[in-house]
Chains A and B, each alone.
Chain A
Amino acid sequence: DAKTTQPTSMDCAEGRAANLPCNHSTISGNEYVYWYRQIHSQGPQYIIHGLKNNETNEMASLIITEDRKSSTLILPHATLRDTAVYYCIVRPSLDDKIIFGKGTRLHILP
């Protein structure tokens, strides 16, 4: 699996946009970028995924650079409930398992 690099932790003020970066310089052409989050000891929650184009859903936006070597997850209006560990994962479309790294611990500050 391709490796990802994420900051260990980040802070964001409540109500502001939280921008979480991820580097995946060895990503292959058919591999997707997935984002999950884990709110303290709960099951990991799927957020969004993308291949080449930017994606948006009700939870977040995913911006993937043109060379696909990095991406940014954007939570547009962070709330205290968004405090969690966020995992950026690169996964081949036909390889089912997900391998988690250490992720980014995001603290939303009141």
Chain B
Amino acid sequence: DSGVTQTPKHLITATGQRVTLRCSPRSGDLSVYWYQQSLDQGLQFLIQYYNGEERAKGNILERFSAQQFPDLHSELNLSSLELGDSALYFCASSAHTTGVNTIYFGEGSWLTVV
């Protein structure tokens, strides 16, 4: 158990809909990251937040957005969903201390768009 909690574990929704994925980082971790892994695809970095502020952006679509709240939990919002958005979405967190920042991953949220 990495200490990173993601909900829901599984989600099925229709095209055009909007969903929200939630992540609770490990206790005390200030940084949250989101990754997408499509079927047979690699892990793609989407976005990182540090203490409520966006820190780094990767291959995140404009239909997707994220935020980190004052209690440090994060949400990834996916809108106007398409079949190709079906994927595993991972959240990760790190303490963001000076030096080495080991990143720990949650077990993911399976999103199926039908």
**Contact size range, A:** 20 to 34
> B58: which of A41, A97, A102 is its contact (CB, 8 Å)?
A97
Take A43-B90, A43-B108 as given contacts and tell me if A96 and B103 are in contact as well, using a CB distance cutoff of 8 Å.
yes
B31 within 8 A of A: yes
Determine the chain B residues whose CB is within 8 A of the CB of A97 once the complex forms: 33, 45, 48, 56, 58
Q: Are A96 and B55 in contact (CB under 8 A)?
A: yes
B65 within 8 A of A: no
Q: Are A96 and B101 in contact (CB under 8 A)?
A: yes
**Contact size range, B:** 20 to 34
Number of contacts between A and B (CB, 8 Å)? 57
Q: Are A45 and B105 in contact (CB under 8 A)?
A: yes
Q: Are B2 and A43 in contact (CB under 8 A)?
A: yes
Determine the chain A residues whose CB is within 8 A of the CB of B99 once the complex forms: 93
Q: Are A100 and B101 in contact (CB under 8 A)?
A: no
Bound together, the chains give a CA A44 to CA B42 distance in angstroms of 11
A80 within 8 A of B: no
B104 within 8 A of A: yes
Q: Are A96 and B56 in contact (CB under 8 A)?
A: yes
Bound together, the chains give a CA A43 to CA B104 distance in angstroms of 9
Chain B: which residue is nearest A103 at the CB level?
B42
- Chain A: minimal CB distance from B52 (Å): 15
Closest 9 CB pairs of A and B: A43-B105, A100-B43, A44-B105, A43-B107, A97-B56, A43-B106, A97-B45, A97-B48, A96-B31
Residues of A within 8 A of B (CB): 32, 34, 38, 41-46, 49, 93-94, 96-103
